[in-house]
Structure 1
Amino acid sequence: MERLRGMQAPDIIVFAGSGSRNLGRAIANNLGLELGASELLRFSEGNLFVRVLENVRGRDVFIIQGTAFPANDNFMELLFWIDALKRASAASVTAVIPYFSYAKGDKKDEPRVSIRGRVCADAIAAAGADRVVTLDLHAPQVQGFFSMPVDDLISLPVLCETIAARNLHDLVVVAPDAGYAKKARLWANRLQTPTAIADKRRVDHSESAEIVELIGSVEGRTALIVDDFTISAGTLTDAARILIERGATKVYAAVTHALLTGSAMERIDNSPIECLFTTDSVETQPAKLSEKVEIVSVAGLFAEAIRRIANRESISVLFQ
């Protein structure tokens, strides 16, 4: 991808935390920049220590740090980076969070539980962030937890471009549950395909759910299951099995955030899924990715957002 032009390089600087070093490097490369110098120390008792090794006084700073494995360490590291940069007199600090893990805690749906997404949003604000850029929040209303601007980018155009290039025959987009049906229709409109919906039932807080019914026809078609994230891959693989039983000829899957553990890899390898398309929003998975997983980079998307924010331009075009 060509490096983005129109950047006032002396005015901005991009750093990356340990949760997003590879993506951060790719974003900086897209901008024609080098990552800002920094260091992270992990002490034996678990404490983290961050140090900024560049002069950021009066500059607009972007810190790229996902909050996946280990989620709590990476989130605390993000807060420390924000605080260090503000104390170093940065003109502004934008937290670029490719995967905001605690967005799943967006409501109080049972007694005596925390709204974790709100707690994390308050912590980011208290640390001193001026803006947040993230990708495919689990629930759009999480933006309302923040007291600062939030740009919730969408991976759909990037993933759809990759999938369209595969020229999959007689494609049908499948939502893994009714809650994702609206977004699945956006996928279908982009790919110009029909949709189907899997009826999913989740009875507890385990990372698995049961597919109990399929709404729509997939017989004789190539099915594409779409979702915002997967952890255990249980829903994806169960849906794939049912789709094959209902006559689908092949099954693919696409998710924005792939939080995949060892058991998830085994499920994918043993499932009918031909390929799982996902972004590089998560790069700290504890297990080696299956050969069935294809990574699609969103570095260009984040780089364009950063360029537009730095140049005080609208980023609404990125949501089309």
Structure 2
Amino acid sequence: MKLFAGSQSKNLAESISKLLNLPLAQYELVKFGDSELKPVIKEDVRGEDCIIIASTSNPVNDSYMEFFLLVDVLKRSAANKIIAVMPYFGYARQNQQHMPGEPVSARVMVKFIQAVGVDELITIDLHEEQLTGFFDIPIIHLSVLPLLAQTMAGELSRHSREGGNPVLVLSPDQGGVERTRTFREALANELNRHSREGGNP
């Protein structure tokens, strides 16, 4: 098994590498004067399962191109299977057409991901759950909301004990309402647990 890190995910990939006791596989990202990219792998991946940890965050387009080209070179080098771990899925918010003339960019990214040869995708807290239905390959859609709620509950308990104002949990748009509801419920459960364990918050 080989573990690769995209440029936007080096720290996360290094942490995962330590947890798995699996060194990061090496590749060089060549950047040309006209801004073209060329990943050059430095290891033999023939017959190997390859995991690429690659957030497609800012700069989104460069992140995607690096990812697509890395997948392509791994496929061309006879990798057995390619699993993409994409904590941030760029273009996920463009998952439907709001007005005539707009693309459904999230669906286009899904087509590209599948076309270059990704076998499985793991991602976190997509803008909307329906995006998972765009895929023909296996996808694991994880949520960090329970973990975030657990972390926030401790902070909010202290905030409340110190006389802080009530806290609102809001969604920035309609697409985030379900995630906001999930987070609010998880947070309420954690705050109730804190209240039982340490007195009223």
TM-score grouping bracket, smaller chain normalisation: 0.7 to 0.9
- CA change 1:22–1:73 in 2 (3 A) is same
Displacement of 1:56 in angstroms is 1.4
Match of 1:185 in 2: 181
Paired residues of 1:14 and 1:61 also in contact (CA < 8 A): yes
Say if 2:4 is the partner of 1:15: yes
Q: Please give the alpha-carbon distance, in whole angstroms, between the structure 2 residues aligned to 1:53 and 1:62.
A: 15
Q: Which runs of 5+ in 2 are unaligned?
A: 190-201
Amino acid at match of 1:65: A
Match of 2:195 in 1: none
Displacement of 1:156 in angstroms is 0.8
Paired residues of 1:135 and 1:154 also in contact (CA < 8 A): yes
Match of 1:109 in 2: 98
Write 1 or 2 for the structure with the bigger share of helix: 2
Q: Output the TM-score relative to the length of structure 2.
A: 0.84
Report the secondary structure of 2:151's partner residue: helix
Displacement of 1:177 in angstroms is 5.1
Displacement of 1:191 in angstroms is 2.2
Paired residues of 1:65 and 1:95 also in contact (CA < 8 A): yes
Q: Please give the alpha-carbon distance, in whole angstroms, between the structure 2 residues aligned to 1:141 and 1:78.
A: 23
Displacement of 1:178 in angstroms is 6.8
Q: Please give the alpha-carbon distance, in whole angstroms, between the structure 1 residues aligned to 2:80 and 2:107.
A: 26
Match of 1:132 in 2: 121
Say if 2:52 is the partner of 1:63: yes
Once the two structures are superposed, what CA deviation does each residue of 1:256-288 show, in whole Å capped at 9, x if it has no partner? Answer: xxxxxxxxxxxxxxxxxxxxxxxxxxxxxxxxx
Q: Please give the alpha-carbon distance, in whole angstroms, between the structure 1 residues aligned to 2:26 and 2:122.
A: 21
Amino acid at match of 1:175: L
Amino acid at match of 2:65: M
- CA change 1:105–1:185 in 2 (3 A) is closer
Displacement of 1:188 in angstroms is 2.5
Say if 2:75 is the partner of 1:86: yes
Match of 1:174 in 2: 169
Q: Please give the alpha-carbon distance, in whole angstroms, between the structure 1 residues aligned to 2:66 and 2:14.
A: 18
Q: Please give the alpha-carbon distance, in whole angstroms, between the structure 2 residues aligned to 1:112 and 1:181.
A: 26
Give the 5 Å matches for 1:247-258.
none
Displacement of 1:114 in angstroms is 0.9
- Kindly tell me the number of residue pairs found equivalent between the two proteins: 182
Match of 1:141 in 2: 130
Report the secondary structure of 2:113's partner residue: helix
Give the 5 Å matches for 1:1-320.
12-166=1-155, 167-168=157-158, 169=160, 172-176=167-171, 179=174, 180-192=176-188
- CA change 1:114–1:178 in 2 (3 A) is closer
Report the secondary structure of 1:100's partner residue: coil
Match of 1:294 in 2: none
Amino acid at match of 2:23: E
Paired residues of 1:172 and 1:188 also in contact (CA < 8 A): no
Q: Please give the alpha-carbon distance, in whole angstroms, between the structure 2 residues aligned to 1:88 and 1:22.
A: 26
Displacement of 1:158 in angstroms is 2.1
Runs of 4+ in structure 1 off by over 6 angstroms are none
Paired residues of 1:173 and 1:187 also in contact (CA < 8 A): no
The percentage of aligned residue pairs carrying the same residue is 36
Report the secondary structure of 1:189's partner residue: helix
Paired residues of 1:173 and 1:188 also in contact (CA < 8 A): no
Report the secondary structure of 2:82's partner residue: strand
Amino acid at match of 2:184: A
Q: Please give the alpha-carbon distance, in whole angstroms, between the structure 1 residues aligned to 2:110 and 2:72.
A: 14
Q: Please give the alpha-carbon distance, in whole angstroms, between the structure 2 residues aligned to 1:17 and 1:181.
A: 30
Report the secondary structure of 2:65's partner residue: helix
Q: Please give the alpha-carbon distance, in whole angstroms, between the structure 2 residues aligned to 1:58 and 1:105.
A: 36
Q: Please give the alpha-carbon distance, in whole angstroms, between the structure 2 residues aligned to 1:101 and 1:140.
A: 15
Match of 2:194 in 1: none
Q: Output the TM-score relative to the length of structure 1.
A: 0.54
Paired residues of 1:28 and 1:34 also in contact (CA < 8 A): yes
Once the two structures are superposed, what CA deviation does each residue of 1:10-47 show, in whole Å capped at 9, x if it has no partner? Answer: xx211001121111111111212111111111011111
Displacement of 1:176 in angstroms is 2.7
Match of 1:265 in 2: none
Report the secondary structure of 1:103's partner residue: coil
Write 1 or 2 for the structure with the bigger share of strand: 1
